[in-house]
Amino acid sequence: MAMKEWTIEELLQHPDAIAIDVRSPIEYEEGSIPDSINIPLFTNEERQEIGTIYKVEGSEAAKWRAMETVAPKLPQLLGEIRGLIDTGKKPVVYCWRGGMRSKSVASFAVFSGLNIARITGGYRAYRKYILETMEDMLPSRTVVLHGMTGSGKTLILKRLSEKGYPVLDLEAIANHRGSVFGSFGLGKPHNQKIFDSLLYKELRNLKDAPYFIMEAESKRIGHAIQPDFMLEARENALHIHVEASLEKRVERTYTEYVEQYQNEQWFRDKVDLALQNISKRINNKEIIQDITNAAEIGDYQKLIELLYVYYYDTRYSHKEQEFADRLTVVNANSIEAAVEQIEGILQNSGYSLPAHILEKNRQAAK
């Protein structure tokens, strides 16, 4: 049985394929093919040790040490691959650039009678492929939701997605909400490699959609930067402004950012650090003192209100001037009502509903 070589295109088009990343855990965490499984040939420490031997003693010594390290692991490693095959999956192994690690695993697997393949060029080829093809996958028409922080844009996107509309949630892809408080409760923001991979995956999910709906975001979202074509897609888009009362915005923000975290020490530490950065941009000393006092006594609803009125809203108003004359306004004090308004705007503006939604509506009307 000969070892099979697959291109990235073959991997992505095969419905039963499952990518197996044999790189070390730290490499896998920094960036991998979405939905792949990490079955590492070496631990982080072993990889570092072999790399040091390579630099100091040369490739032959490093290869020998690698063989000594891998040999005891082979039964378990190949057993995991066999388990995937038994579930009906087609394992396809890869490493950084389709080199010794993936070739070794694939060779041992084939020798053991397992039917697997190896990705030509490895993760590096995958990353090159997605960066070159993403722009062509973007639907031809765009709908952009604008609105001040807390107005409910993310909640609206979620509801539209649940109803079957083609939604691209960039904040979810970045694992960051875009502001200095944007990572609260979300863990580590995604780096550029992870962001690009997840963006590609979501664009594949939007295949054949006549348009897509997204939130207006800055070029940088957390630790990642949007590709230029995403920003350019806004130029001729349908622009919808989502507005809500200050009271409702404060309530939503408190629920999402504060309510379940406010008694945690990490939360208070991150609030203090964020406020240090924000205070440098507010010129009114009395307002800075009011913000500081609200944080110190834990009056977070008051703190949110002050930050909106004296910081976020003024920055937002300046940013949105570019699209001010093209905004259709929707009131989002009620998320469900806002979603209904947006559905009406889409239909009236010639943004046809996806076919499966039309069919669902026809069935419901019978």
Q: Which pLDDT band, with edges at 50, 70 and 90, does 1 fall under? A: low
Does the structure show a pLDDT above 90 at 352? no
For residue 365, pLDDT beyond 60: no
Residue with token string 């469900």: 336
DSSP character for 351?
Answer: -
Q: Are residues 151 and 197 in the same domain?
A: yes
Q: Which of 253-257, 300-304, 349-353, 359-363 has the lowest mean pLDDT?
A: 359-363
In a shared domain, residues 97 and 143 = no
Q: What is the model's pLDDT at position 3?
A: 75
Average pLDDT over residues 195-223: 92
337 and 234 assigned to the same domain: yes
Identify whether residues 126 and 230 lie together within a single domain: no
The pLDDT value given to residue 271: 86
Residues 156 and 123 in one domain: no
**Residue 49: which domain range?**
4-131
pLDDT value at residue 78? 94
Domain count, the chain: 2
Query: What pTM does this model have?
Result: 0.88
Asked if pLDDT for residue 182 goes beyond 70, the answer is no
Residue (of 349, 159, 343) closest to 236 by Cα position: 349
145 and 61 within one domain = no
95-99 own/partner pairs: CB under 8 Å, 24+ apart: 95/21, 95/22, 95/23, 95/41, 95/122, 95/123, 96/23, 96/27, 96/122, 96/123, 96/124, 97/121, 97/122, 97/123, 97/124, 97/125, 98/122, 98/124, 98/125
Query: 131, 165, 183 — which closes off a domain?
Result: 131
Q: Which long-range contacts (CB under 8 A, 24 or more apart) does 102-106 make?
A: 102/22, 103/3, 104/41, 104/70, 105/20, 105/22, 105/41, 105/77, 105/81, 106/3
The CA distances from residue 44 to 22, 229, 308, in Å, are 12, 36, 44
CATH code assigned at 123: 3.40.250.10
Residues 119 and 209 in one domain: no
Encode pLDDT of 141-170 as tens digits. Answer: 999 999 998 999 999 999 999 988 999 999
Same domain, 213 and 310: yes
Q: Is the pLDDT of residue 366 over 60?
A: no
The string of pLDDT tens digits covering residues 325-350 is 788 999 999 999 999 999 999 999 98
What's the mean per-residue pLDDT of the chain? 89
Q: Are 125 and 9 in contact (CB under 8 A)?
A: no
Higher pLDDT, 317 or 146: 146
**190 and 337 housed in the same domain:** yes
Judgement on whether residues 214 and 161 belong to the same structural domain of the protein? yes
Q: Are 117 and 6 in contact (CB under 8 A)?
A: yes
For 101-143, write each residue's pLDDT tens digit: 999 999 999 999 998 999 999 999 999 999 999 999 999 999 9
